[in-house]
Amino acid sequence: MPFSALGLNENICRSIRDQSYIRPTEIQEEVIPLVLKQMDVIAQSQTGSGKSASFILPVLQLWQGMRDSAKKGKIKVIVLSPTRELTLQIASAFNDFGKYLETKPQVIGVVGGQKIGEQLYEIQQGCDVLVATSGRFLDLLSKKQMNLSHLEFFILDEADKMLDLGFEEELEAILEAIPAKRQNLMFSATYPPKMQKIASKITPNAVEVKMKDEAPVVKKINQRVIEVEREKRGPLLRYLLKENRWNLVLVFMANKRSTDNIAEKFRKYGFKAASFNGDLEQDSRNETLQAFKEEKINILFATDIAARGLDIKDIDCVINYDLPRSPADYIHRIGRTAREGKSGEAISFIDYENMNHFRLIEKRSEIKLVREKIEGFELEGKAHPKTKGPAPVKGKGKSKKDKLREKNLNKG
């Protein structure tokens, strides 16, 4: 099915062709016609499925039809996302897909780490589409210097991640600040119970779209798990990099300090490596990502800020140097490869200490992987047996009756 069959006009379709999109993804086929009918939508689809384009394309077309003749843009579209990188990518996509419209939208992306006064000034000079991290949007709201009375579209992207960042508490203040009559669109890779509560506050009558036939993990990713001693992970990674012809490799680490330390070590070994974490200034984050996209950097050591919203089409391999905390984070991490139908590889390093955790990841992700051993990097010794704590000593602890008696006495 071509994009034009979904109801998109020629100016939009022309910009789609420039981006080398051939045909819509499943989520785009489902969502785009609904948005064009101006219906509220709650959509669930896995990472890398094209969720962002499924709202950007129809919203641009609807915006073009409802904009007034005023030269100065009025905020008609608000998009909130959980990360700086995703926010800036969405803003860029609005510009890319809107470049052939009769009037180009004035798109502004705002994130933390930049001067809020300059951001407010830019918005006041004219803004049609405002894309922001939720935290920075609340900062802007607190200044009470934005006119939101013309808002037509309220959009949440990666809504499940926003929940993890405390968005539920922020939502009330946001809903009070925007018009009650608007089109609401929510997109998420997962749909936890809390999402239903938030969705009901935002819209009572949304159409739910869920890709039923999707596997929990992208099918075109060759997933591997390698048993290796913790202190041998660095040498093993260097071995894998030399043995494989990967142009771009994304390596996930447990914390910010680890990314900096290992990137420095790998540069000493002659690799074009860099670190990517929340301590970097925004300009440095942008420059690092651009260098990675242009393959000036081949290996990016990152924390989980790169697990969402990092849309780089040609990442060949994702390495879980440190395992993620949750199975959901595993899915988002490996989803950075095999974008837009391409194939990719994902490798996880495990040892005796985290074997059980990886089994949980497998269970939740509905996968079962063969444990690999590479000569020279094998695990040594045996898994440590589980040890129970010391047995309670009779007479030392208080009985339930004693605790209840004390409680009642305290109440009296």
Write down the domain spans for the chain.
Answer: 3-210, 221-372
Asked if the domains 3-210 and 221-372 are classified in one and the same CATH topology, the answer is yes
Distance CA 337, CA 346 (A): 8
Tokens of 167: 């968005």
Distance CA 152, CA 77 (A): 6
Residue 149 is given by DSSP the state T
Distance CA 120, CA 111 (A): 12
**pLDDT exceeds 60 at position 401:** no
Distance CA 202, CA 193 (A): 15
Tokens of 31: 């969502």
Cβ-contact 206, 184 below 8 angstroms: yes
What pLDDT, on the 0 to 100 scale, is given for residue 386? 54
**pLDDT exceeds 50 at position 109:** yes
Q: What angle do CA 71, 74, 78 make, to 5 degrees?
A: 140
Distance CA 165, CA 305 (A): 12
What are 217-242's pLDDT values in tens digits?
466 789 999 999 999 999 999 999 99
Q: Sign of the C-alpha dihedral, residues 237, 238, 243, 248?
A: positive
Distance CA 210, CA 358 (A): 27
Query: 10 Å Cβ neighbour count for 197?
Result: 12
- 3-class state of residue 234 by DSSP: helix
Distance CA 142, CA 147 (A): 13
**pLDDT exceeds 80 at position 46:** no
Q: What is the mean pLDDT of residues 293-303?
A: 95
What pLDDT, on the 0 to 100 scale, is given for residue 278? 85
Select, from the ranges 34-48, 67-81, 91-105, 337-351, the one with the highest average predicted confidence (pLDDT). 91-105
Q: Which residues are paired to 109 by β-bridges? A: 131
What are 354-388's pLDDT values in tens digits?
999 999 999 988 889 999 999 999 998 776 655 44
Q: Sign of the C-alpha dihedral, residues 376, 381, 382, 387?
A: negative
333: nearest Cα among 343, 346, 342, 344: 346
Which residues lie closer than 8 Å to 156 by C-beta, 6 or more apart?
Answer: 79, 80, 81, 162, 185, 186, 187, 188, 202
Q: Look at the pTM and tell me if it is higher than 0.75.
A: no
> Please, what CATH class does the domain formed by 221-372 belong to?
alpha beta
CA dihedral 161, 164, 169, 172 (to 10 degrees): 10
Q: What is the mean pLDDT of residues 89-117?
A: 94
CA distances, 334 to each of 48, 328, 349 (Å): 10, 10, 13
Distance CA 163, CA 15 (A): 33
Q: How many CA atoms lie less than 13 Å away from 50 in the CB half-sphere? A: 20
**pLDDT exceeds 70 at position 271:** yes
CA distances, 286 to each of 88, 90, 199, 243 (Å): 9, 14, 32, 30
Tokens of 360: 């949980």
- 3-class state of residue 273 by DSSP: strand
Q: What is the mean pLDDT of residues 166-188?
A: 90
Fold of 3-210: Rossmann fold (3.40.50)
